[in-house]
Structure 1
Amino acid sequence: MNLSEMTYPKDTKNRVRNLLVQEARRKPKPARGWLTLPVVIAVAGTALVGTTAAGIYTALAPVNDKRDIRCYYHADLTTRPPVGGVPGATKPPYMTTGIFITGFDAKNNPNPDDKNAGMKQVTDPIKQCSRVWDTGLMNPDGLTNDLIPAGFVPSPPAGKDRGSGLPDTDQYGNPIAPGPNPLLGHYVPPLTACVVDNTVAVIPGGPEICARLGIPALEK
């Protein structure tokens, strides 16, 4: 109902109208001090560290056990790709990788319940997964062809036989083990270390990919 539709004595109606006009002309009062303070949001196990280019807050989370690293095929945490040659079979959306301890005696494992026993802590998960991409293992049956830029040409390996006296590094300068390495030189996309299920997850994409997927980035 509008003011003009209300029934008042004439003098009362004029007083009400004057009061409304005076109130509308008042300068707004400054907000209380506590309303102007920045809000700090605490998330268990994570810390907010600013924004990405898209304006999304990025959370960080630590991972204490970095022996088992997940290398995701795509920036997709749930879609299970098919297993080549096995109709109807699927596999996880990632491949796991790690660094085994040379000479580890699995038969005399002092921690038989530890599924990662005999593996080292990975200090650089992105480099670890880069090596897996570099060998071509992240593109089985063309699974990640959609990530490869048009015109990309695989680099030739530094040498097929590491026993020939050639440097024990690939074309990126990464050290590799002695022996044949016929698959080196495949496309390696930009990678970012995130955290999924309290495990390091290295996902194709730039620094904003963790926030876009709704998961924290790995705290360094």
Structure 2
Amino acid sequence: MNLSDVRYPADTKTAVRNLLIQEARRAPKPAPRWRKPVMLTFAGLALAGTTAAGVYVALAPVDDKREVRCYFRADLERTYPAPNAPGITMPPYMLTGIMATGFDANNNPTPDDPSSGMVQITDPIATCSDLWDRNLMNPGGITADLIPADFTAPPAPAAPTWNGLDRDAQGNPLIPEQSDIGPGHYVPHLTECVVENSVAVIPGPAQVCAQLGIPALEK
């Protein structure tokens, strides 16, 4: 049974929550790293009731929010074929971040840090929502089944034309590929969870973290 499956009577909910938090504070604990598969325990977790039924979900903090995982769907394992790249597989999420203005990669003081030059993301849901809005979360149509039938998509872009100048190495006209990247695409309801000590923004309601057996992001 997951911690999220535990239900308490309304008159004991507050008392149980206080007891668990007191127990969790008894001794210092290392920062948790959540991995798959994850086993949730009482120690080291903040607990919060999220529904009128008194369902409890685990909360976990993330100190470094310079990179955020935007998951394609509520599935932590599923991978996807990369469009126009036979044999290449994409992970279950798209990793995104925001580079600091004026960052000089040639004079990076921490070259061993893969997140060097990135700023802390204060609103992970807004960051991932932007990717969905611009259709970057639907490469090759992998999330097209999540789009409601009555959703009105933006008009298809005009077919690109050759500018008469650019050519490839063989001298053939270099015509840009048609792209449907742009604003106005479907954005599902998104929820902030924690996977492997990283912020994971996952399509689904507030209960999706508990349903996947992972903690929600502690604000």
TM-score range, shorter chain: 0.5 to 0.7
- TM-score, length basis structure 2: 0.68
Distance 2:121 2:188 in 1: 20
Aligned counterpart, 1:77:
76
- Relative contact order (alpha carbons < 8 A, sep ≥ 6): 1 or 2 greater? 2
Distance 1:128 1:185 in 2: 15
Q: Tell me by how many angstroms 1:89 deviates.
A: 2.5
Between the two proteins, the alignment pairs up a number of residues equal to 161
**Letter in structure 1 aligned against 2:203:** P
Distance 2:76 2:69 in 1: 11
Q: Tell me by how many angstroms 1:54 deviates.
A: 7.0
Spell out, residue by residue over 1:143-194, the C-alpha distance to the aligned partner (whole angstroms, 9 max, x if none): 10111001211247xxxxxxxxxxxxxxxxxxxxxxxx96111100000000
Residue 149 of structure 1 pairs with residue 157 of structure 2: no
Residue 116 of structure 1 pairs with residue 152 of structure 2: no
Aligned counterpart, 2:7:
none
Residue 197 of structure 1 pairs with residue 189 of structure 2: no
- Within a 5 Å distance, the mapping from 1:37-186 to structure 2 comes to 38=16, 40-41=19-20, 42=24, 43-52=42-51, 56-155=55-154, 183-186=182-185
Distance 2:52 2:190 in 1: 17
Q: Tell me by how many angstroms 1:134 deviates.
A: 0.5
Which shows bigger deviation, 39-48 or 193-202? 39-48
| Structure 2 unmatched runs, 5+ | 1-14, 25-41, 156-179
Distance 1:66 1:213 in 2: 21
- TM-score, length basis structure 1: 0.67
Residue 214 of structure 1 pairs with residue 216 of structure 2: no
Distance 2:103 2:138 in 1: 30
Distance 1:210 1:52 in 2: 14
Are the structure 2 counterparts of residues 182 and 195 from structure 1 closer, same or farther at C-alpha, using a change threshold of 3 Å?
closer
Are the structure 2 counterparts of residues 91 and 125 from structure 1 closer, same or farther at C-alpha, using a change threshold of 3 Å?
same
DSSP 3-state at the match of 2:106: helix
DSSP 3-state at the match of 1:120: coil
Q: Tell me by how many angstroms 1:69 deviates.
A: 0.5
Percent identity, aligned pairs only?
62
The two structures, once aligned, show a CA RMSD in angstroms of 2.2
Distance 1:184 1:207 in 2: 25
Are the structure 2 counterparts of residues 212 and 182 from structure 1 closer, same or farther at C-alpha, using a change threshold of 3 Å?
closer
Aligned counterpart, 1:6:
none
**Letter in structure 2 aligned against 1:117:** S
Distance 1:139 1:113 in 2: 32
Contact kept in structure 2, 1:81 and 1:91, CA below 8 Å: yes
Query: Which is richer in helix?
Result: 1
Contact kept in structure 2, 1:194 and 1:200, CA below 8 Å: yes
Larger-gyration structure (1/2): 1
Q: Tell me by how many angstroms 1:53 deviates.
A: 6.3
